[in-house]
Copies of this chain bind each other. A is one copy, B any other.
Amino acid sequence: MTSLSGVWAASLTPLTSDLTPDPGRLVEHVGRLFLDGCDGIVLFGTTGEATSFSVGERIALLDGLMAGGIDPGRVIVGVGCAAAVDTVELTRSADAHGVAAVLMLPPFYYKAVTDDDLAEAYGWIFGQIGPEAPPVLLYNIPQVSGVRVSANLAGRLFGDHPDVVAGIKDSSGDLQSLRGFLAAMPGAAVFAGTELLLVPGLDEGAVGTISAAANVNAVDIRRAFESRAPADMEILVEARARLSAQALIPALKSIVAERLGDPGWAAVRPPLRTLPTPVGSALASALSSA
């Protein structure tokens, strides 16, 4: 099994013309990401519009990805839902395929929840999925989910469930936050949730990055991972700046669409909106000239 480290892409989820997940386009995309230097991919993170799909659609797309010959040891599956029972069902499906790990948001509808509430909720889920479940990466992305996984909570879960919790993806975008997890979970697989903290994170003990931008920029991220050179990090910062005028997920999809000459790739699910083709073209050429 690939170890939980290195450069992982938070994969986009391509859609068919009726907005259902498209396993064919996904298998090809993941193959390209591996060629471009990704150690693995996360299926159904925030970038993958995970929460815009039904549980059945998510299970079917993972089945399709596996049927397409992708190595499950190079796949982490996002499983965190508003309903803990759905998280359990998705984790069992991921387990059946022998994936590298699952990425688990806390239940995210109720906002006035405490660390005690979330510790009990995660504990309930872990009890349901049992001890042979795939390793669990906690998922902190409070600016989107609205529910923070604090360093205190992560450290407590890592201590209380050492055979279950393997690490965390910290997508807060904040180096101080990443440091908090590194301190609270010594020896855990702590991933920077953005390539913009790749080298600073590695320097302090993070194992790598799970990156949205890797969908369109994996070669450069791989290079920075290997070199740890400031000049290579600067290239990543510049590339991200060229993306930032648009909502990130539609922008990334439109760039892939433009590069492949496959306009259907640009489609997103509500509540996101697909970018007009000319915007995607401009983004793709801006990124290429970075």
Contact = CB atoms under 8 A, between A and B. Distances in A.
A212 to B, nearest CB: 13
Contact of A84 (B84, B86, B120, B271): B271
Interface residues of A, number: 39
Given A54-B85, A57-B85, A109 B270 contact: no
A203 interface: no
Contact of A51 (B83, B89, B145, B270): B83
A81 B124 CA distance: 22
Interface string A65-102: 00000000000000001111110010000000000000
B271 A51 contact: no
B109 A144 contact: yes
A83 B109 CA distance: 13
A34 interface: no
A110 B49 CA distance: 9
Nearest to A270: B121
Nearest to A57: B85
State the oligomeric state as a number of copies: 2
Interface in A110-164: 110-113, 116-118, 120-121, 124-125, 143-146
B118 A271 contact: yes
A107 B106 CA distance: 17
A117 B55 CA distance: 23
Given A109-B144, A111-B143, A146-B146, A270 B84 contact: yes
B84 A269 contact: yes
Given A51-B82, A52-B83, A53-B83, A272 B108 contact: no
Given A120-B270, A273-B116, A83 B54 contact: yes
Contacts of A89: 54
A54 B86 contact: yes
A224 B275 CA distance: 51
B52 A273 contact: no
Nearest to A113: B271
Contacts of A145: 109
A111 B271 contact: no
A253 to B, nearest CB: 14
The 3 closest A-B pairs by CB, nearest first: A121-B270, A51-B109, A121-B271
14 contacts: A51-B83, A51-B109, A53-B83, A54-B89, A57-B85, A108-B109, A109-B144, A110-B144, A110-B272, A111-B144, A111-B146, A120-B270, A120-B271, A120-B273
